[in-house]
């Protein structure tokens, strides 16, 4: 499980770097500065949580059960939070209205918060 979490952390990090570079170079000409700032928020949170998963995967302080739960919460949270932000920031580039996905952004945020809470509770309950 630990190798899987670390590998997924690497994938999330690599995708975050790719999207960050894409935003900084390709989208700079296509989006307003406010839209680009929103896009960068999605990248930033994706990178924070890639590093978070890297820690979770490498620490012995968290149970395997909690690691599985954290992985699921982070993956769902990044998908809902960061990827909805990417689409919403770029909505002017799409021919369809993507604002319908707006309500999933705060759900993703709650999932990310829940992952941190699971970590905290698991460490606090740990004996020794």
DSSP 126: -
The residue segments making up the domain with residue 60 are 2-125
How many domains, in total, are found in the chain?
1
- 10-44 residue pLDDT tens: 999 999 999 999 999 998 889 889 999 999 999 99
pLDDT per residue as tens digits for the range 44-87: 999 999 999 999 999 999 999 999 999 999 999 999 999 999 99
Tokens 């909690």 correspond to what residue? 66
Q: Most distant CA pair in the chain: distance in Å?
A: 57
Rounded CA separation 111/118 (Å) = 10
Q: Which two tokens stand for residue 53?
A: 């998963």
What percent of the chain stands above pLDDT 70?
99
Please, are residues 92 and 121 in contact by the beta-carbon 8 Å criterion?
Answer: no
CA angle (71 as vertex; 122, 69 as ends), nearest 5: 45
pTM: 0.92
Question: 37: which 2 tokens?
Answer: 């700032």
Angle at 84 between CA 65 and CA 29, to 5 degrees: 135
Q: Residue 95: which pLDDT band, with cuts at 50, 70 and 90?
A: confident
pLDDT at 128 over 90: no
The per-residue DSSP string of 27-70 comes to: STTTS-HHHHHHHHHHHHHHHHHHHHHHHHHH-TTS-HHHHHHH
CA separation for the pair 103, 65 (Å, rounded): 29
């Amino acid at each position: 499980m630990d190798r899987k979490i670390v590998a997924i952390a690497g994938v999330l990090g690599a995708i975050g770097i790719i999207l960050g570079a894409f935003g900084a170079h390709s989208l700079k000409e296509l989006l307003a500065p406010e839209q680009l700032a929103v896009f960068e928020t999605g990248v930033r949170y994706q990178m924070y949580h890639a590093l978070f998963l890297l820690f979770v995967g490498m620490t012995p302080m968290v149970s395997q059960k909690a690691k599985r739960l954290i992985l699921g919460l982070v993956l769902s949270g990044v998908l809902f939070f960061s990827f909805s932000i990417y689409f919403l920031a770029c909505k002017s580039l799409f021919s369809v209205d993507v604002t319908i996905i707006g309500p999933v952004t705060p759900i993703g945020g709650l999932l990310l918060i829940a992952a941190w809470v699971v970590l905290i509770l698991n460490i606090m309950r740990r004996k020794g």
